[in-house]
Structure 1
Amino acid sequence: MKKIDYLSTLFVGIDIASRMNVVSAIDFNQDYFIKMKPAPNSQEGAEFLETMIVNVLGNNHQFKYVIIGMESTGFYGVHIANYLSASDTLAPFSLHVYCLNPKEVKNYKKSFNDLGKNDGIDSFVIADYARVGRIASKPWRGSQYLALQRLTRHRMHITECIAREKTYMLNNIFLKFSEYALLNKDEHPFSNKYSATAQAILTEYTTNEDLVNSSVAELVDFVNSKSRGRIADPEETAKILQAAARNSYRLDTCLYEPLTISIASSFNCISSFEKELKVIDKAILQTVQGLNPVEYTVLNSIPGIGKVFSAGILAELGSIKTFQNADALAKYCGIVWNDNQSGDFEAEDKKMSKAGNRYLRYYIIEATDSVIRNCPAYKRFYTKKYVETRNHQHKRALALTSRKFIRMLFGLLDKSQLYSPEKSR
């Protein structure tokens, strides 16, 4: 990115709201050029805001650059950020538009001791935040990235819906079939708890007594039919199911049917979400074509990362040149740990910050989980950290491995190099 002379820069802050935006513009000496002017959050308001900024630039020839900052307040700022970043009249001034973390702006506002209360004062705080060089995020990157980002973020939304539905369903499964719900992974009759066979057992057998009173031969035939012969030892599976049914709590008869209907509904919801996930994945792969082909190719060269996770990282990351080093990238993801130290004492357990871009953090961690399964070096590192950790072993080992993954990711993207095992080491 071109180095900006802050003395020749107009700093614009926009306080975003659903119906009305407030804009302030200052120079490096904190002199106002636009002071808390309202503009509707609409196409007409965006044009009016653009005209105000252009008039300031036209009447004051000392400005060669423009930095516009606004808080990342959900989707209310998307249109204005997209409009201003694509402005032809502002483009000659090396325009940079930033969507800022509201938490960081709020903390910066606390540094003003004599700041009065005013509905538009946040626009000044945002402009001043830019003036002192506190912005560490990447600039707004336009419609192509927005299109990809909408899809990758929606994909994350769907996966969260699936996870939430599975957790909710497990509550009902425990109520109906308590011992089955408590079986460990090693002793569970099905490798996939949400498979078609598992669904049939939980929804076609209304009560636990129905399972207990069935013969082993009947259960074996049922399991073979529903699994299409894919279960290696159906007789052992049938015995595990019957033992779990015998050891489960008994319910009043009136409870079984409502629980069964609820469980069946959850299975249907999960199935629908999974179908939508396939549609979204296909759309992501179509949208990402031709968008930063070098960076996308580099990401895809890493074993196990996959095209969808690569697209998710690319959508949130943009250009790696925005970040000075791997630590800056990790901080932007929120994969950093806050210090927990006092005097000579330093706690072993430290909470992960999670203050960064949660979408990028999701795709980085999911990609790392996939890379662990496909790259021996990462599998060994994960296993080492898993053994070293006492609490939350998987989550902590996966997060620590993600930091290792971020270092490799930054190195490859920064040098535009494809992955190789030697570079990984």
Structure 2
Amino acid sequence: MDISSRENVVVLLEFESKKPLLSFAVSNNYPGAAILAQKLAEFLSSHHELSSIIIALESTSFYGIHIANYLSSCQLLMPFNTAVYCVNPKMIANYKKSFIDLGKNDYIDAFVIADFARVGRITIKPWRGSQFLALQRLTRHRLHLAKALTREKTYMLSNIFLKFSEFSMLEEEQQPFSDNFGATATSVLTDFLSTEEIINMPMDLLISYVCEKGHNRFSNPENTAKLLQQAARNSYRLDKCLYEPLTIAIASSFNLITTYTKEMKAVNAAIEKTLKGLNPNAYQSLLSIPGIGPVMSAGILAEIGCIDAFKSQDALAKYAGLVWRENQSGQFKADDTILSKAGNAYLRYYLIEAVSHIKKHCNEFAVYYQKKFDEVKLHQHKRALVLTARKFVRLIFGLLAKNQLYSSSRVDQI
């Protein structure tokens, strides 16, 4: 099937022939799926020599999720040993290059996918259903919120620099507040229209203001007020027409940051609730690794799903895109090998991000990271981090496949 937002184009091939047996298109909705299942069932019932059906479609974002779920659990197709596969689009694109002068339309694309399945090129496990889909949607949404939060903070810093240049540029020991996005910092940047107001404010009133906005949590409010006033004196002055627009923009960014933070807490609670309905042992296995918290554990588990879907740690690494392309011809062998990145980008992100924390808590991974870091002089950190993530894949596969908790004594054998 070739999937799109509006319709699904279907081409049927028999294993011994390249000539299509049937081709048609249905709407990509529930009635269309029902028509598709009915047509397949009628065709198979009238051809008794056909005992099974393999349904292949490209893994095209979320457009294929509903139809894959429907067909994999459709009672009408169950008697025909139905297996649904979501294939990497890059594999289909590369396979299509083997055809000479093949055009481009939905029926041709569906034919190529069917022929890819016909010649036995599918090596992945069948569609696993929606068991981990709920968790995956939550963890991916949390990542979306986290990126939006980071992007908003980065954007807001440019406006803060324009209004109060020294505030975002001071060294840590000279910063009046420990958190530039906290409640007190928010009040200072939005309550005062200009830095002149802070400079001209009497010290006792400024100290009272800091205590009030900080809920009396500052150990030395007088020093905080002095640092704030000094930063205001050292900041650039702006034309009066700029202060109000900048203040409005900064206040809007703070509101967005507050909203993102609140929503992330709600999503975290939903993730925790969803995890209870899945395999608790797998979650605890990941959580037992030092440096891995609930967020990373849930994200990795959501993208991997059931570990039984992977026959080896090499298959898991390939699924994450943590494999390297060999570049060799004759006597030539390139020193640089390119990371594939053809797998699950979310899983690859979680693995690399997790390793950046693990190497701070696990000596074995810290030693391995440093070893890979010292091997080259270019791209040291990125290279070492990705290679350590590849080692981490072996650990994850071992723990999940054997249903074990982390033990440092096992890492040396990986």
**Map of 1:272 onto structure 2:** 259
Matched, 1:140 2:127: yes
SS at the partner of 1:175? helix
**Map of 1:45 onto structure 2:** 32
Distance in 2 of aligned mates of 1:233 and 1:381: 44
**Map of 1:346 onto structure 2:** 335
Pick one of 229, 232, 235 that aligns with 1:248.
Answer: 235
1:180 is displaced (CA, Å) by 2.7
Out of 267-276 and 203-212, give the one that drifted further. Answer: 203-212
Distance in 1 of aligned mates of 2:387 and 2:176: 32
Distance 1:225 1:102, change over 3 A: same
**Map of 2:293 onto structure 1:** 306
1:91 is displaced (CA, Å) by 3.0
Matched, 1:412 2:405: no
Count of residues in Structure 1 that have an aligned counterpart in Structure 2: 410
Distance in 2 of aligned mates of 1:307 and 1:276: 17
Out of 88-97 and 196-205, give the one that drifted further. Answer: 88-97
Q: Please list, as runs of the form range in 1=range in 2, the aligned pairs for 1:13-412 lying within 5 A after superposition.
A: 14-32=1-19, 34-183=21-170, 188-214=175-201, 218-231=205-218, 234-336=221-323, 346-347=335-336, 352-379=339-366, 381-382=368-369, 397-412=384-399
RMSD value, Cα:
3.2
1:213 is displaced (CA, Å) by 3.5
1:130 is displaced (CA, Å) by 2.4
- 1:93-127 CA distances to partner (integer Å, 9 max, x unpaired)? 44332223323322322221142444311111111
Percent identical among aligned pairs is 54
Distance in 2 of aligned mates of 1:224 and 1:341: 67
Distance 1:278 1:370, change over 3 A: farther
1:189 is displaced (CA, Å) by 4.4
Distance in 1 of aligned mates of 2:186 and 2:394: 42
Out of 221-230 and 286-295, give the one that drifted further. Answer: 221-230
Distance 1:386 1:267, change over 3 A: farther
Distance 1:304 1:48, change over 3 A: same
Paired letter, 2:23: M
- 1:225-261 CA distances to partner (integer Å, 9 max, x unpaired)? 4334545555554454444433333211111111111
Q: Structure 2 stretches of 5 or more lacking a match?
A: none
Q: Structure 1 stretches of 5 or more lacking a match?
A: 1-13
User: Does structure 1 conserve the Cα–Cα contact (< 8 Å) formed by 2:320 and 2:345?
Assistant: yes
- 1:33-55 CA distances to partner (integer Å, 9 max, x unpaired)? 54431112121211121122223
**Map of 1:7 onto structure 2:** none
Q: TM-score, length-normalised on structure 2?
A: 0.85
1:15 is displaced (CA, Å) by 0.6
Distance in 1 of aligned mates of 2:216 and 2:324: 48
Distance in 1 of aligned mates of 2:98 and 2:386: 33
SS at the partner of 2:60? coil
Distance in 1 of aligned mates of 2:338 and 2:227: 40
Q: TM-score, length-normalised on structure 1?
A: 0.83
User: Does structure 2 conserve the Cα–Cα contact (< 8 Å) formed by 1:330 and 1:403?
Assistant: yes
Paired letter, 1:269: L
Paired letter, 1:39: V
User: Does structure 2 conserve the Cα–Cα contact (< 8 Å) formed by 1:156 and 1:359?
Assistant: no
Out of 169-178 and 87-96, give the one that drifted further. Answer: 87-96
SS at the partner of 2:166? helix
User: Does structure 2 conserve the Cα–Cα contact (< 8 Å) formed by 1:172 and 1:262?
Assistant: yes
Out of 334-343 and 264-273, give the one that drifted further. Answer: 334-343
